[in-house]
Structure 1
Amino acid sequence: MTDGLDRWDEPRRRKPWPLLVAFGVVLLLLTCGLPAVLLVGVLHEAAGRSVVGKLGPADAGDPATLAAGQLGERIAAQLDRQATALLGGDLAGFLAVAEPAARPALARRYGALRALRVTVWRPEQTGLPTLVPGRPDEWRIMVRFQYCIVVPGCRPSPVLINTRWRDAAGAPLLVAMEESRSVETGTRPWEVSELVVAVGPRTVVATTPALRGKLPGLLRQAEAAARVADGYAVGGAPPDRYRVFYAGRAEWLSWYGGGRATWTGGYAVTVGGGHYEVVLNADGLSATGADDLLRHELTHAASLPERGYPGTSIWWMVEGIAEYAGSGATPVGRYEGLAEVRKMLAPGGGWNGRLDDLAPADDAPALRVGGSYGVGYLAVRHLVDRFGEQRFLEFFRAVVHDRRTPEKASVQAFGELWAGLHDECVNYARSAAG
């Protein structure tokens, strides 16, 4: 599988980046032959805690399989002890299940999870332990950890992590807990970084110790953005907490796999359990620019379905609603992306006039990216101005959540054919851009 990405830009904020400041990224679920991502939480759904109990009659008589099952049960007991220690704030107990060489990395992971106020940590083995090639005393087993932060009763987010164990006398000892490195989501910040965290009524904001001074301001901005984003929770209740991670230069390259387009300044990624996690790029992001970016990203977290959305043909709508929320009460004439829209709509601007072909490529030039976001915003703005927010959100839900075609959803939500409304949206963008 490849990493299919929906990315957005924010050239209109005029922050101190050379050409533009990117607005964000959402990882998509692409169907119909396109790359599939956002599969977090669907792997090993049937995985149980008991390994021996999963052995069939034919396996039960095989000595090697039986021995692996028994080892798996002993590993499960160690993982349970570690989970109890983590939730109870017992660092010594958390490290006691591991060999000394593994403890520094585990201590950092423990500290990050405790800073995030972990409330659920449930390990589930996905099969039997297997010997590590060339190491007759070392075993490997994939474990799915389900976790909640801050909110005890949340739907847990799953993360699949490879663990290695040594079958020591008495109890197996953890040799290493590796990074998840999943294609779907990539490595979580708490797996690889020391974190400091601020928690508010609606948000959790985390960063590294080097950027600790940014936390109070970021928390205030995130809380304000959450109040806006809550109004766009079209799939049900808003998120229990919006999760925001503020990345320094090194963290931007490693958290969630890195590898974003050069014009990306933030992104939202689904991590399962109905949760999205938002990452902001600290490098070049001004304090005032974070307000717009947070409104944009948290609106993605509130409005998008857990499984993502199909293909790039509705990119304009997904990004348009986030731009609409991000722009706040800014009048259309003061939208700072109008210059990019104007240039993209001019002859030779590189767009064919179809909203379903608006999404920019990863290597698109700055003007094309900025123009794409601007047209998406203007299209949504036109529909909201004409029909009201509630009817537009009905349209959005039908297309993005229920996966109906815009043609069917338009008649249902607006009582009009989509072909005509599509052309209205494009004409409105041309008129607004001058």
Structure 2
Amino acid sequence: MEDPSYPGVPPHFVPAYGPQPPGWPPAFAPPPAPPKRSHATGILAALAAVLLAAAAAAVVLWPDRDETAQAGDASRPARPATPFEMALETLHKQADALVKGDEKGWLAPVDPKNKTLVTRYRTMFTNLRTLEISHAEYHADKLEGGTARKVVAQAALGYCFSGVSCPAWRNNYDEGPAKTTYRLTFTLTGTAWRITELNDAAGVEHNYLQPAPWDNRALTFVKGKRVIVAGPRSQAKRLEQVLALAEKAAKVTDKYAGYVNNPQRRYRVYVADESGWKKWYGGIDEKWVIGYEMPLNATGGDIILRAKASGDQRQLAVTIQHELTHVVTLAGGHWENTDDQWLVEGIAEYVGALPRGPQNTGNHDVLAESFRRHGKPKTIAVPPLPDDADDLTVATLYAMGHYATACMADKFGDQKLMRFTDLVLREAKKPDEAARTAYGKPFAVVDKACLSWIRDRV
């Protein structure tokens, strides 16, 4: 049977945040981190579902203006640049070199004597260029420990891929471009400021987008018309298989993205070995999870597949199509209400299973068992999953979401279904307002009709 997927909704995994590094700006109360929306293998023989949660991310702010040299007015000479300003200018030039594809310029600030550091920066450059990085910018905050010949800074690299419209910089992790943070040490060597040390431990504990798959590990890539697939060298043979399935899935999800004017320039799929699975984007410990989608703020999302658990071709195809649906239904939106979890997963189940309907998937068996054990639900808007939800409760949410979206598609058509979905998930409208706008009917009427539709089919 098919395995329902689920979003990771806080607060299931909440990391312990250590003290701020010296000189770091204050952290505000953290908003929920964008969820990892996942596809899972089954635990019960008759069911296949489990809930994965993403961690709430502490918001770390940088100054609205970097400490950069300002031109003096006409009545006085400009002051000399400070060591920090010169180090920051080095980062700005490095970001420009990355976007231009200038590897020599990207490596120029890196201490050539530090072979490990050079290798890391070269790996970052190769990976990011192959991933079609199209925007990069550094923002930084000066930390304690600097001298006349040494600068210590917390630097954030903001990035966007494949020519997307990159949002303006924001001083927190869940807005603006995606970011990765490093504690950098610059040392004055002759007349040049060189990066002599990189420490990303502090950034990792605050940023749910760190460590990114492209950072500090050489990847192998294959590219199609719509999808880039990447993974460690050990997964090279699997990448072509995943690419073929992802290209086929993209044709489906592109159609639904068009209904809500949310086209994706590129989809990115990473195939993780066990090392990557445990580390990328904070890692996944649950043995039953086989894939998830990580939003990159408003610029799209990354799909992570667990190579070890993705051997079944049919299951892998459904998983990929499900996760790509999350990208097109959530990217650039403002979904924050976990009450809509039934729709987040329901629309992904509906599109992910196409061309098969819910009655031809394992979700039919899930609802039959759920109705037998717990009775028929009172609404298609199944309540969000609690932290201690059992397998049947989780599976029921996915199955009901699948049937509910299939019902709305049957009654109103795919375009109106996607309009309803877009209003709720990307425009943060309540289901009743969205139903009146998309369907011309109150949600209560739609709810009652779809409950009857579902009961007739299970």
TM-score (norm 1): 0.81
Q: Which residue of 1 aligns with 2:185?
A: 165
Q: CA deviation at 1:305?
A: 4.0
Change (3 A) 1:284 1:245: same
1:398-424 deviation digits (Å, cap 9, x = unpaired): 222222211222222222222232233
* Residue of structure 1 aligned with 2:119, choices 98, 104, 113: 104
SS at structure 2 position matched to 1:313: helix
SS at structure 2 position matched to 1:191: coil
Q: CA deviation at 1:142?
A: 2.8
How many angstroms apart in 2 are the aligned matches of 1:396 and 1:95? Answer: 45
* Residues 407 and 450 in structure 2, CA contact (< 8 A), matched pair in contact too: yes
The answer on 1:125 being equivalent to 2:139 is: yes
How many angstroms apart in 1 are the aligned matches of 2:366 and 2:321? Answer: 21
Q: Which residue of 2 aligns with 1:52?
A: 69
Q: CA deviation at 1:321?
A: 0.9
Q: Which residue of 1 aligns with 2:306?
A: 281
Q: Percent identity?
A: 23
The answer on 1:176 being equivalent to 2:197 is: yes
The answer on 1:70 being equivalent to 2:85 is: no
How many angstroms apart in 2 are the aligned matches of 1:308 and 1:289? Answer: 30
* Matched letter for residue 131 of structure 1: E
* Matched letter for residue 341 of structure 1: L
SS at structure 2 position matched to 1:192: coil
How many angstroms apart in 1 are the aligned matches of 2:87 and 2:445? Answer: 62
Q: Which residue of 1 aligns with 2:450?
A: 425
* Residues 22 and 265 in structure 1, CA contact (< 8 A), matched pair in contact too: no
Q: CA deviation at 1:307?
A: 4.4
Change (3 A) 1:302 1:3: closer
The answer on 1:298 being equivalent to 2:341 is: no
Deviates more, 1:103-112 or 1:400-409: 103-112
1:302-357 deviation digits (Å, cap 9, x = unpaired): 111424412211111111111111111214431222222222233447x9644444
Runs (5+) with no aligned partner, structure 2 = 1-29, 168-176
Q: Which residue of 2 aligns with 1:198?
A: 222
Q: Which residue of 2 aligns with 1:325?
A: 351
* Matched letter for residue 182 of structure 2: N
1:115-151 deviation digits (Å, cap 9, x = unpaired): 324343x333244x22238x996533233323343x3
* Matched letter for residue 371 of structure 1: T
How many angstroms apart in 1 are the aligned matches of 2:37 and 2:94? Answer: 38
* Residues 88 and 140 in structure 2, CA contact (< 8 A), matched pair in contact too: no
SS at structure 2 position matched to 1:139: strand
How many angstroms apart in 2 are the aligned matches of 1:85 and 1:53? Answer: 23
* Matched letter for residue 51 of structure 1: T
Q: CA deviation at 1:254?
A: 0.8
Q: How does 1:256-275 map to 2 (within 5 A)?
A: 256-259=281-284, 261-275=286-300
How many angstroms apart in 2 are the aligned matches of 1:358 and 1:260? Answer: 25
* Residues 346 and 403 in structure 2, CA contact (< 8 A), matched pair in contact too: yes
How many angstroms apart in 2 are the aligned matches of 1:118 and 1:365? Answer: 41
* Residue of structure 2 aligned with 1:247, choices 267, 272, 297: 272
Q: CA deviation at 1:300?
A: 1.0
Count of aligned residue pairs for this structure pair: 407
* Residues 242 and 277 in structure 1, CA contact (< 8 A), matched pair in contact too: yes
Q: Which residue of 1 aligns with 2:412?
A: 387
How many angstroms apart in 2 are the aligned matches of 1:371 and 1:264? Answer: 17
Change (3 A) 1:45 1:346: farther
Q: CA deviation at 1:8?
A: 4.7
* Residues 340 and 374 in structure 1, CA contact (< 8 A), matched pair in contact too: yes
* Residue of structure 1 aligned with 2:158, choices 139, 146, 153: 146
Change (3 A) 1:352 1:123: same
* Residues 333 and 425 in structure 2, CA contact (< 8 A), matched pair in contact too: no
* Residues 207 and 215 in structure 1, CA contact (< 8 A), matched pair in contact too: yes
* Residues 127 and 214 in structure 2, CA contact (< 8 A), matched pair in contact too: yes
* Residues 261 and 362 in structure 1, CA contact (< 8 A), matched pair in contact too: no
* Residues 350 and 357 in structure 2, CA contact (< 8 A), matched pair in contact too: no
* Residues 8 and 319 in structure 1, CA contact (< 8 A), matched pair in contact too: no
* Matched letter for residue 268 of structure 2: R
The answer on 1:226 being equivalent to 2:250 is: yes
1:379-398 deviation digits (Å, cap 9, x = unpaired): 11111101111121221122
Q: CA deviation at 1:190?
A: 0.9
Q: CA deviation at 1:26?
A: 8.7
Q: CA deviation at 1:268?
A: 1.4
* Matched letter for residue 332 of structure 2: E
How many angstroms apart in 2 are the aligned matches of 1:222 and 1:24? Answer: 24
Change (3 A) 1:167 1:221: same
The answer on 1:374 being equivalent to 2:399 is: yes
Q: How does 1:210-225 map to 2 (within 5 A)?
A: 210-225=234-249
* Residue of structure 2 aligned with 1:337, choices 324, 349, 363: 363
Change (3 A) 1:153 1:404: closer
* Matched letter for residue 194 of structure 2: L
Change (3 A) 1:37 1:83: closer
SS at structure 2 position matched to 1:219: helix
* Residues 360 and 368 in structure 1, CA contact (< 8 A), matched pair in contact too: yes
SS at structure 1 position matched to 2:339: coil
Q: CA deviation at 1:167?
A: 3.0
* Residues 391 and 414 in structure 1, CA contact (< 8 A), matched pair in contact too: yes
How many angstroms apart in 2 are the aligned matches of 1:131 and 1:86? Answer: 28
How many angstroms apart in 1 are the aligned matches of 2:71 and 2:404? Answer: 54
* Residues 8 and 23 in structure 1, CA contact (< 8 A), matched pair in contact too: no
* Matched letter for residue 161 of structure 1: T
Q: Which residue of 1 aligns with 2:3?
A: none
* Matched letter for residue 213 of structure 1: K
Q: CA deviation at 1:260?
A: 5.9
* Residues 87 and 119 in structure 1, CA contact (< 8 A), matched pair in contact too: yes
Q: How does 1:84-99 map to 2 (within 5 A)?
A: 84-87=96-99, 89-99=101-111
* Matched letter for residue 248 of structure 1: D
Q: Which residue of 1 aligns with 2:171?
A: none
* Matched letter for residue 130 of structure 1: L
Change (3 A) 1:92 1:366: same
How many angstroms apart in 2 are the aligned matches of 1:124 and 1:186? Answer: 16
Change (3 A) 1:401 1:307: closer
